[in-house]
A and B are shown apart, each in its own frame.
Chain A
Amino acid sequence: MVTTVKSWAELTPEEKRQRRYDSWLNPEGVEFVSPEAEATYKARATRVADAYSLRTPDRVPVSMNMGWYPVAWAGLSPYEAMHDYGKAADAYVRFNRHFQADVMANPIFMTLPGRAFDLLEYRLYHWPGHGTPKDAGFQYNEDEWMKPEEYDHLIEDPTDFFYSVYLPRISGAYEMFSHLGSAFDLVEMPFGTLAMGPWAAPGVKTSFEKLVAAGQEVGAWAGAIFPAVGTLQSDGFIQIWGGASKAPFDFIGDSLRGTRGMLLDLYREPEKVLAACDRLAPLMVRWTLRRATPSTIPGIFIPLHKGADGFMSPAQFETFYWPSLRKVILGLIEEGFTPFLFAEGRYGSRLETICDLPKGKTVWLFDQTDMARAKETIGQVACIQGNVPLSLAHAGTPEQVTAYCRELIQTAGKDGGYILDFGGVLDSAKPENVEAVVKAAKDLGVY
């Protein structure tokens, strides 16, 4: 064991990357249903890996940026999908088999165990049947979950801040953690009592019972969802994400300070915003590494939120948002990963700034950004993906979808380095429009 870990540590970033891509293209433990399925898997993985590395694949790969659409297509409401895991898993298997994109629409990332969130008494989100209607998805509950005066605690000791202040605030089940004292309490004999005493306080046991029950519920969910992913892999569908991370600015802005609080902080607490982003950048990398093994799939999903056009000026983006995000990206590349950045909204005024990255080591999924400009800028250093409008999927015709995809393939797809996909997360669509996207890649995307 020690030797393996050591030898991994001795690899260069490029060697680590190579090892991850090798395991991705030749996955261990997957029993393909047929030699054809295995060949399909390898062709798909090679196609996507070629696009990621800015090589020209055999044709434009097609991916599925999915929200609730796979379960909606199967006739389930978001509420049903979050409470009947078997039905959700089955919906994803049927969805992928029907539409046959290269990249699996992956249930791990979009189905959630509703009862676990109920048990957690989770406050950061509303979800179907719990704050949003049963036919609507989960939505973020904007609030100042961290107060402005708590920046110092976050910066000095992020983990302590999370356990003693933040988690008890965002989850009823974690409330008693604020009573448990410091992790340093269990030192030397006379002081050990400080560590033990609080565990007998009323409420602690209940807190833990809720967490255990939530964990068991996640187990039930995983018991339904993971086999479905296995089935789809055996069928020849590829997964693209081995984990997720966040831009430090979004980590603070999305989950801690809220949009409003964070944007006001740019004027009220600019030094603290910068210090906190700096502090969190290496932790955003370590967060991913903690769960990673040498065979973890190379793509790391990083959804970008508060750096989009309109949220802040280009100068604010370059000062507050980009430097710490770039550190996270480079830190992940160093470990052989391929950061996959989902630039929701518009990113036109950021395209030049984000080019400051090593070539062929990142993927950028764009929503409504001008893809011809994206190709000329970031497209020269990174694979680009996306941009089929959600509105077209919902309200357009297959002919309109095909025409839009043709244009994308000709501009963004020129000489490779592009993956056809929806720009935003798809919740609703006419099935024939989704079929038209897949067909466009296969018919019009051949190089």
Chain B
Amino acid sequence: MAHELVDAMVGMKEKDALRIVQEMLERGEDPQEVLQLSQEAMQIVGDRYEEGSFFLPELMLSGEMLKKIAGLLKPRMAAQADTREKLGRVVLGTVRGDIHDIGKDIVGFVLDVNGFEVTDLGINVSEEKFVTAVRERQPQVLALSGFLSLAFDSMKSTIEALEEAGLREGVRVIIGGGQMDETVRQFTGADAYGEDAMAAVAFAKNTGRVS
């Protein structure tokens, strides 16, 4: 039997979830426990998205709930590092010229709930910025997002820039977004393309195992 907080979050009962957290905190329960339950709920949400019974509304609402719960917990918790063991590091961003962020944010979200440390560089990210981030963060995976077909060229030039910087060997690259397919993967020189956010998780997990 799951905790009522987990039930409320997975059941998309935002008000109930926040009320339960308030009550737990008023009863003096450990904020760390609340955080763990919330993360448990997020894991279930991620699983249901993966199996195709949850969609964007559920991902977005559970993300909102987690943000609000974290806000309630913050004043009661000493600054604590996220203690979950990380499966690996991912650098993520929407490529130059493209400002779409919804798909990228979803990928960041599901990678995070699946235990990856995600560095999100944002939108309209230049080749140089990706190169710098890969050099500094040394991620196992670089995830390039783009919705427009102009992203095909920016993805290609980003991967070329990695090669020129001598960083291509050390990182596996996946592309994702509206029009990405095998033809674009070959064109850009990426290692994989993803049709949905879960493809990025599978790719990242697979990469972790290989390296």
Contact = CB atoms under 8 A, between A and B. Distances in A.
B153 A428 contact: yes
A267 B57 contact: yes
A424 B149 CA distance: 9
A183 B97 CA distance: 43
A427 B186 contact: no
Contacts of B57: 263-264, 266-267, 312, 316
Nearest to B148: A427
Contacts of A267: 12, 14, 57, 61
Contact of B56 (A310, A344, A426, A428): A310
Interface stretch (B30-38, B76-84, B98-106): B98-106
B53 interface: yes
Given A389-B181, A391-B152, A391-B179, A310 B14 contact: no
Interface string A106-136: 0000000000000000000010000111011
Most chain A CB inside 10 Å of its own CB: which residue of B99, B149, B180: B149
Interface in A281-326: 310-313, 316
Interface string B150-194: 101100000000000000000000000011110110110000000
Given A268-B61, A395-B184, 15 more contacts: A136-B148, A139-B148, A142-B101, A263-B57, A263-B60, A264-B61, A310-B55, A312-B55, A313-B55, A389-B183, A391-B149, A391-B152, A396-B183, A427-B150, A428-B149
B53 to A, nearest CB: 7
B64 interface: yes
Contacts of A133: 96-97
B69 to A, nearest CB: 16
Nearest to A400: B183
A414 interface: no
B4 interface: no
A395 B187 contact: yes
B50 to A, nearest CB: 12
Contacts of A263: 56-57, 60-61
Contact of A395 (B61, B100, B183): B183
5 contacts: A260-B60, A316-B55, A344-B178, A394-B152, A395-B186
Contacts of A260: 60, 102
Interface in A390-405: 390-392, 394-396, 400
Contacts of B96: 133
Nearest to A136: B97
A259 B102 contact: yes
A264 B64 contact: yes
Contacts of B54: 313
A132 B101 CA distance: 14
B128 interface: no
B60 A132 contact: no
A289 to B, nearest CB: 33
B29 interface: no
B23 interface: no
Interface in A402-439: 424, 426-428
A137 interface: yes
A139 B56 contact: no
A43 B186 CA distance: 40
A135 B97 contact: yes
A137 B183 contact: no
Contacts of B55: 310-313, 316
Q: Interface SS of chain B: helix, strand, loop or mixed?
A: loop
A426 B148 CA distance: 9
A264 B187 contact: no
Closest 5 CB pairs of A and B: A395-B187, A391-B183, A263-B57, A136-B97, A391-B184
A345 interface: yes
Contact of B152 (A259, A264, A428): A428
Contacts of B98: 136, 139
Given A391-B179, A428-B153, A310 B196 contact: yes
B148 A391 contact: no
B14 A390 contact: no
Given A312-B55, A391-B183, A139 B99 contact: yes
A343 to B, nearest CB: 13
Contacts of A344: 178
Given A136-B150, A137-B150, A428-B153, A394 B187 contact: yes
A313 B14 contact: no
Contacts of B187: 391, 394-395
Contacts of B184: 391, 394-395
A310 B181 CA distance: 17
A311 B56 contact: yes
Interface string B39-61: 00000000000000111110011
A113 B111 CA distance: 41
Interface in A236-275: 259-260, 263-264, 266-268
A112 B99 CA distance: 20
B178 A428 contact: no
A313 B64 contact: no
B149 A426 contact: yes
Contacts of B149: 390-391, 394, 424, 426-428
A368 B12 CA distance: 31
B53 A313 contact: yes
B54 to A, nearest CB: 8
Contacts of B152: 391, 394-395, 428
B56 A424 contact: no
Contact of A392 (B53, B100, B183): B183
A142 B181 CA distance: 26
B179 A390 contact: yes
